[in-house]
Amino acid sequence: MDLTLFIWRQKGQQDKGRLDQYTARHISPDMSFLEMLDTVNEGLIAEGREPVAFDHDCREGICGMCSQVINGIPHGPQEKTTVCQLHMRHFRDGDTIYIEPWRAKAFPVIRDLIVDRSSLDRIIQSGGYASVHTGGVPDANAVLVPKQDVDIAMDAAECIGCGACVAACPNGAAMLFTAAKVTHLAMLPQGRVEAARRVCVMTEAMLREGFGNCSNHYECQAICPKGIKVSFIAKLNREYLKTFMGSPGCSTGE
Amino acid sequence: MILDGKSPAGPLAERWDRRRQELKLVNPANKRRYKILVVGTGLAGASAAATLGELGYTVEAFCFQDSPRRGHSIAAQGGINAAKNYPNDGDSIYRLFYDTVKGGDFRARESNVYRLAMLSNNIIDQCVAQGVPFARDYAGYLDNRSFGGAQVSRTFYARGQTGQQLLLGAYGALSRQIHAGTVRLYPRTEMLDLVVIKGQAKGITIRDLTTGAIRSHAGDAVCLCTGGYGNVFYLSTNAMGSNVTATYRAYKKGALFANPCFTQIHPTCIPVTGDHQSKLTLMSESLRNDGRVWVPKKKADERKPHEIPEDERDYFLERKYPSFGNLAPRDIASRAAKEVCDEGRGVGPGGRGVYLDFADAIQRLGKDKISERYGNLFEMYEKITAENAYERPMRIYPAPHYTMGGLWVDYNLQSNIPGLYVLGEANFSDHGANRLGASALMQGLADGYFIISYTIADYLARTGPGGASADHAEFLRSIGEVDAASKKLLSINGRRTVNDFHRELGRIMWEHVGMARGREGLELALKRIPELRGEFWSNVKVPGSGADLNQELEKAGRVADFLEFGEVMALDALLREESCGGHFRVEHQMPDGEAKRDDDNFCYVAAWEFRGIGKKPELHKEPLTFEHIPLATRSYK
Ligand SMILES: Cc1cc2nc3c(=O)[nH]c(=O)nc-3n(C[C@H](O)[C@H](O)[C@H](O)COP(=O)(O)OP(=O)(O)OC[C@H]3O[C@@H](n4cnc5c(N)ncnc54)[C@H](O)[C@@H]3O)c2cc1C
Ligand code: FES
What is the residue-wise DSSP string for B137-203? -TTSPBP-B--TT-SS--EE-STT-HHHHHHHHHHHHHHHHHHHTSEEEE-SEEEEEEEEETTEEEE
Distance CA B606, CA B627 (A): 20
B450 interfaces chain A, CB cutoff of 8 Å: yes
B483: enclosing H helix or E strand: helix B473-492
Q: What is the pTM of this model?
A: 0.97
- Using an 8 Å Cβ cutoff, are B518 and B574 in contact? no
Q: Which of B330, B373, B435, B597 is catalytic?
A: B330
Within 10 A of B298 (CB to CB), how many other CB atoms are there?
Answer: 14
Distance CA A102, CA A120 (A): 13
What is the distance in angstroms between the CA of the first residue and the CA of the last residue of chain A?
55
**Mean pLDDT throughout B548-561?**
98
Distance CA B238, CA B261 (A): 17
| Residue of B344, B302, B335 lying closest to B317 (CA atoms) | B335
Q: What is the pLDDT of residue A243?
A: 84
Q: What is the pLDDT of residue B59?
A: 98
Domains of chain B and any CATH numbers = 12-262+404-463 (3.50.50.60), 266-400 (3.90.700.10), 476-603 (1.20.58.100)
Q: What is the pLDDT of residue B284?
A: 87
Q: Is the pLDDT of residue A252 over 80?
A: no
Q: CA-based angle A189:A191:A197, to the nearest 5?
A: 125
Q: What is the pLDDT of residue B592?
A: 84
Active site residue B330: yes
Q: What is the pLDDT of residue B632?
A: 87
- C-alpha torsion angle, residues A52, A57, A63, A66 (rounded to 10): 10
- Residue B496 per-residue DSSP state: B
Q: Please tell me which residue of chain A has the smallest CA distance to B169.
A: A129
Q: Is the pLDDT of residue B148 over 80?
A: no
Q: What is the pLDDT of residue B327?
A: 87
B590 interfaces chain A, CB cutoff of 8 Å: no
Interchain proximity B75–A58, CB inside 8 Å: yes
* β-bridge mates for residue A7, sequence order: A20, A99
Sequence spans of domains, chain A: 3-111, 118-246
Band of residue B374 on the pLDDT scale cut at 50, 70, 90? confident
Superfamily name with CATH number, domain A3-111: Beta-grasp domain (3.10.20.30)
Counting residues of chain B whose pLDDT is more than 70, the rounded percentage is 100
Residues B39-73: tens digit of each pLDDT: 999 999 999 999 999 999 999 999 999 999 999 99
Q: Is the pLDDT of residue A186 over 70?
A: yes
| Residue of B430, B416, B465 lying closest to B618 (CA atoms) | B416
Residues B181-218: tens digit of each pLDDT: 999 999 999 999 999 999 999 999 999 999 999 999 99
Band of residue B534 on the pLDDT scale cut at 50, 70, 90? very high
Using a 10 angstrom Cβ sphere, with 0-12 exposed, 13-18 middle and 19 or more buried, the burial of residue A179 is buried
| Averaged pLDDT of chain B | 96
Q: Is the pLDDT of residue B555 over 60?
A: yes
Counting residues of chain B whose pLDDT is more than 90, the rounded percentage is 91
Q: Is the pLDDT of residue B378 over 60?
A: yes
- C-alpha torsion angle, residues B544, B550, B553, B554 (rounded to 10): 180
ipTM of predicted complex: 0.97
Band of residue A247 on the pLDDT scale cut at 50, 70, 90? low
Residues B440-462: tens digit of each pLDDT: 999 999 999 999 999 999 999 99
Distance from the A113 Cα atom to the nearest Cα atom in chain B, whole angstroms: 12
Pick the CATH number of A118-246 from 3.40.47.10, 3.40.50.720, 1.20.1090.10, 1.10.1060.10: 1.10.1060.10
A57 interfaces chain B, CB cutoff of 8 Å: yes
- Using an 8 Å Cβ cutoff, are B407 and B250 in contact? yes
Q: Please tell me which residue of chain A has the smallest CA distance to B240.
A: A57
Residues A143-164: tens digit of each pLDDT: 999 999 999 999 999 999 999 9
Band of residue A248 on the pLDDT scale cut at 50, 70, 90? low
Interchain proximity A121–B168, CB inside 8 Å: no
Q: Is the pLDDT of residue A254 over 80?
A: no
Distance from the A194 Cα atom to the nearest Cα atom in chain B, whole angstroms: 12
- Using an 8 Å Cβ cutoff, are B606 and B624 in contact? no
Residue among A35, A38, A65 to mutate when testing ligand 2 (max atoms within 8 A of CB): A65
Q: Decide: A192 in ligand 2 pocket, CB within 6 A.
A: no
**Mean pLDDT throughout B331-356?**
93
